[in-house]
Amino acid sequence: MTKGNLFVVSGPSGAGKSTICRLVRKMLKINLATSATTRKPRKGEVNGVDYYFLSIEEFEEKLRNGDFLEHAKVHENYYGTLKSEVENRLSNGENVILEIDVQGGLQVKEVYPEANMVFFKTPTLKELEKRLRGRKTDDEETIQLRLKNSLKELEFENKYDISIINYTVEKSCEELINIIKSKN
Ligand code: 5GP
């Protein structure tokens, strides 16, 4: 039985999830579980803060050891949530936010059926493309891959409890904060 509340936040990459989750986490002093990935760090990203950056071998070893609550291949890299980032915090009564893709989100829901599932999306697909390009962190091939995957992610929206359309960061933060507060 968990004491804290678990929030799973998913949606197309570029929809603004990370920015919003980071802000909300700071405002409410909630833990955003740090994920592991085999993707290379982007400029400015810090190991252990933004992600645990692992080699494919390291990731696969943890997978074999059963260390992951969920994992998925997203945009051709492995991503996963370590059980150690979630279990103790929930049993200590802390709230935890997981910002993960839809494949991972559904795996978490299997383990924690009481998880609160929140889906983020942009008002239009054009807007999503604009945001992905605006980040200036990815090359054209990666942008195309992310756009293609976004369409797939959108098909899973109906598996989530609540959808937030990200019109502005302020409004979306407020909506997520209201959802979190309503569960406490
Ligand atoms: P990015 O490479 O832009 O940081 O993240 C790419 C995608 O991977 C995002 O949709 C993000 O939500 C997802 N992601 C990040 N961490 C995890 C994780 O631990 N598990 C899963 N399944 N997806 C993740």
Looking at every residue in the chain, the average pLDDT score rounds to: 93
Residue 150 lies in a domain: yes
Question: How far apart are the C-alpha atoms of 114 and 135, rounded to whole Å?
Answer: 34
Residue 68 lies in a domain: yes
Query: Using one digit for the tens of pLDDT, what is the confidence trace for 16-71?
Result: 898 999 999 999 999 779 999 999 999 999 999 999 999 999 999 999 999 999 99
CATH of the domain at 42: 3.40.50.300
Question: How far apart are the C-alpha atoms of 27 and 128, rounded to whole Å?
Answer: 26
Residue 22 lies in a domain: yes
Contacts of 40 (CB under 8 A, 6+ apart): 53
* Better-predicted residue by pLDDT, 74 or 171: 171
Residue 94 lies in a domain: yes
Atom of ligand 1 nearest to the CA of 104: 22
Contact assessment for residue 179 and residue 97, using Cβ atoms and an 8 Å cutoff = no
Query: Using one digit for the tens of pLDDT, what is the confidence trace for 117-146?
Result: 999 999 988 888 888 888 777 889 988 988
Give residue 50 CA to ligand 1 midpoint distance, Å: 11
Residue 154 lies in a domain: yes
| Number of domains the chain contains | 1
Angle at the Cα of 139 from the Cα atoms of 62 and 148, rounded to 5 degrees: 75
Residue 1 lies in a domain: no
Give residue 178 CA to ligand 1 midpoint distance, Å: 24
Write the CA distances from 136 to 127, 143, 170, integer angstroms: 15, 10, 22
> Going by CA atoms, what residue is nearest to atom 14 of ligand 1?
100
Contact assessment for residue 122 and residue 166, using Cβ atoms and an 8 Å cutoff = yes
Give residue 3 CA to ligand 1 midpoint distance, Å: 25
* 107 close to ligand 1 (CB < 6 Angstrom): no
Atom of ligand 1 nearest to the CA of 36: 19
Q: Residue 91 carries which DSSP code?
A: H
Residue 107 lies in a domain: yes
* Structural domain for 95, as ranges: 6-182
Question: How far apart are the C-alpha atoms of 153 and 125, rounded to whole Å?
Answer: 12
Give residue 71 CA to ligand 1 midpoint distance, Å: 9
